[in-house]
Amino acid sequence: MSSVANVMQELFEKALGIAPPWFIERIEFSQDEKRLDIYINFKRGSKFSYFDNKNNKEFSNLSAYDTTTKKWRHLNFFEHECYLHARIPRVKLPDGTIKTIKAPWEGVSSGFSLLFEALLLQLCSSMPVNQVSKLINVHNDKIWDMLDRYVNKAKEYEDFSNIDSVGIDETSIAKGHEYITLFVDLNKRRTLFVAEGKDASTVKEFVKDFKEHKAEIDNIRNVSCDMSPAFIKGVKEHIPNADITFDKFHILKIINEAVDSVRKQESKENKLLKGTKYIWLKNKHNLTRKQREALKELTISNMNLKTIRAYNIRQSFQDIYNAETEEEFTAYLKKWYFWATHSRLKPIIESARTIKKHWNGIINWFRSRINNGILEGLNSVIQAAKAKARGYRTFKNYRIIVYLLTGKLDFSLVNKSLRGI
C-alpha cells in the first residue's frame, strides 16, 4: 500500500472515529457514480463485548465465532454518497446462542450510521420528510421508521415526576373530523403525550403513559382544557386530584362565535357590517389602522348597533382577567353575567349560560393562573409543519412530527453524536 493511501486511510479513520480493533481496509471512489465506499475490518484475534438488552447484561472478552457483512449509509463526502461496509463478528454467548455485535458507528435503524441519523434528525426538524428524502436520496419510509425509533427510545428516558400542571387540547390532523389530543407540560412548554381521537379515553391513555415515566397521577394538581364534556369526564375519572381550569382562549372562542352570530343577523339589514367580521373578534391592539378607523366610524354612528353592544360585552369579559383578587374576579364575572343575560341578544345570552354551567372552572383560573396559550403556540408550530408537508398520511407519522417539533426530547441520550448540536 502506498504512503498516500496510508495517509488517506488514517485521515478517514480519524474523521470516522474508527479505533482499534477496527481499521479501514480500503477505500473505493467513483467519480462517475458520485459515490464513496469505505471498507472496514477488525484485527485477527480481537475480543468483543455484547450487551443483552433482554436480560440487561453485558458479556465481554468474546472471540469472533464467524462474521457477517453489513452496509451503512453515512454522511456525504461533498456531493458524493458515502457508504460504510464492514465484516461484523458474531459471538457465542455462554448459553450457546449466537449474536451479532453492534459496530460503534452503527445507527439505531438498519442501514444508517449514527452520524447520518444525526443529520436526518436535524433536517427533519426543519423541513418536511419528503423534501429530506429527495435531498439525500433515501426512501420516505426508511426515514419515518428511523424517526419513530428515535422518538420511542428518547421517550423511554423521560421523567414526569415533577409535573403538576397539564394542558389538554385537540387539533385536526386531516380534512373532515380526524383529530389528535395533545397533553402538554405547561411549565416546561413541551408535549408529553399524543393520543388519537378526542374523547375521554384519551385521558386514560395519557394517565397510563404518565405512570410509566416515574410519576404518580396524584402529582397533577391543575389541568387546563376547553369545555369539552369528554375532557371534563376524562379528567374527573382519571386525574381525580386535579382542579380543572377552563382556558380563557376557549371561553373567548365561545363569546366570539356569539358576537359573530349577532353581526351576521344584523348585517342582513345593515350593509355597513358587511366585511367587518374580524373587527369585532380581534383585540383592539391587534387591529390594522384601517380596521381601527372603521370601528371608530361605526361606534360614533349613533345607529345603536346590536353588534357594538355584543362587542362591548366581549371586551368587558376580557377586562375581568385584570382583577387583583379572587373576590374581585368573582364579582366582575357576576356583573358580566348579569349584563350578558340581560342584553336581549340571544347568542350572547346562550354563551353566558354556557359559562355559568362551567363557573367554578372559570374562577379556578385566578388560583391556578394556567391557560392553553402555550398549547396554542405549539399547535401553530404543528399546523405550520403540516401545511408545509401537505399533510401526513397516518396518525403514526403525525405523532412523530408532534414529538419531534414540540416534545423537547433529548435525542442525545439515544445518539451521542447529537451532543453539542
Q: What is the pLDDT of residue 295?
A: 81
- Indicate whether 400 belongs to any domain: no
If asked whether residues 194 and 274 sit together in one domain, one would say: no
- Indicate whether 414 belongs to any domain: no
- Indicate whether 406 belongs to any domain: no
Which segment of 42-46, 264-268, 361-365, 373-377 scores lowest on mean pLDDT? 373-377
Q: How many angstroms separate the CA atoms of 331 and 334, rounded?
A: 5
pLDDT in tens, 319-358: 999 999 999 999 999 999 999 999 999 999 999 999 999 9
Q: Is the dihedral of CA 398, 400, 403, 406 positive or negative?
A: negative
Domain that holds residue 235: 161-247+372-390
Q: How many CA atoms lie within 13 A of 340 on its CB side?
A: 26
Domain boundary (117, 152, 187) is at 152
| pLDDT class of 17 with cuts at 50, 70, 90 | confident
Average pLDDT over residues 152-173: 94
Which segment of 55-59, 139-143, 161-165 scores lowest on mean pLDDT? 55-59
Average pLDDT over residues 265-272: 87
Q: Is 188 in contact with 167 (CB distance < 8 Å)?
A: no
Whether the pLDDT of residue 391 is over 90: the answer is: no
Whether the pLDDT of residue 63 is over 80: the answer is: yes
If asked whether residues 37 and 143 sit together in one domain, one would say: yes
If asked whether residues 144 and 24 sit together in one domain, one would say: yes
Instruction: Identify the bridge partners of residue 195 per DSSP, sorted by sequence position.
Output: 181
If asked whether residues 22 and 68 sit together in one domain, one would say: yes
If asked whether residues 260 and 168 sit together in one domain, one would say: no
Domain boundary (110, 129, 152) is at 152
Which segment of 350-359, 384-393, 399-408 scores lowest on mean pLDDT? 384-393
pLDDT in tens, 68-126: 999 999 999 888 999 999 999 999 999 999 999 999 999 999 899 999 999 999 999 99
pLDDT in tens, 176-195: 668 899 999 999 999 999 99
If asked whether residues 95 and 26 sit together in one domain, one would say: yes
Average pLDDT over residues 288-293: 86
What lies within 8 Å, CB to CB, of 285 at 6+ separation is none
Whether the pLDDT of residue 380 is over 90: the answer is: no
Q: What is the pLDDT of residue 3?
A: 59
If asked whether residues 222 and 294 sit together in one domain, one would say: no
- Indicate whether 237 belongs to any domain: yes
If asked whether residues 146 and 191 sit together in one domain, one would say: no
Whether the pLDDT of residue 419 is over 80: the answer is: no
Whether the pLDDT of residue 296 is over 90: the answer is: no
| pLDDT class of 375 with cuts at 50, 70, 90 | confident
Q: CA dihedral defined by 287, 375, 169, 183, rounded to 10 degrees?
A: 180
Percent of the chain with pLDDT over 90: 70
If asked whether residues 199 and 168 sit together in one domain, one would say: yes
Mean pLDDT across the chain, nearest whole number? 90
- Indicate whether 12 belongs to any domain: yes
Q: How many angstroms separate the CA atoms of 207 and 145, rounded?
A: 26
- Indicate whether 411 belongs to any domain: no
If asked whether residues 222 and 323 sit together in one domain, one would say: no
- Indicate whether 413 belongs to any domain: no
Average pLDDT over residues 290-311: 82
Q: What is the pLDDT of residue 421?
A: 53
H or E element that contains 276: none
If asked whether residues 182 and 112 sit together in one domain, one would say: no
Q: What is the CATH number of the domain that holds 222?
A: 3.30.420.10
Cis peptide leading into residue 21 (ω within 30°): yes
Q: What is the pLDDT of residue 291?
A: 85
Q: What is the DSSP letter of 188?
A: T
- Indicate whether 418 belongs to any domain: no
If asked whether residues 129 and 92 sit together in one domain, one would say: yes
Q: What is the pLDDT of residue 47?
A: 95
Total number of domains constituting the chain:
3
Instruction: Give Cα separations from 57 to 50, 283, 414 (angstroms).
Output: 9, 61, 19
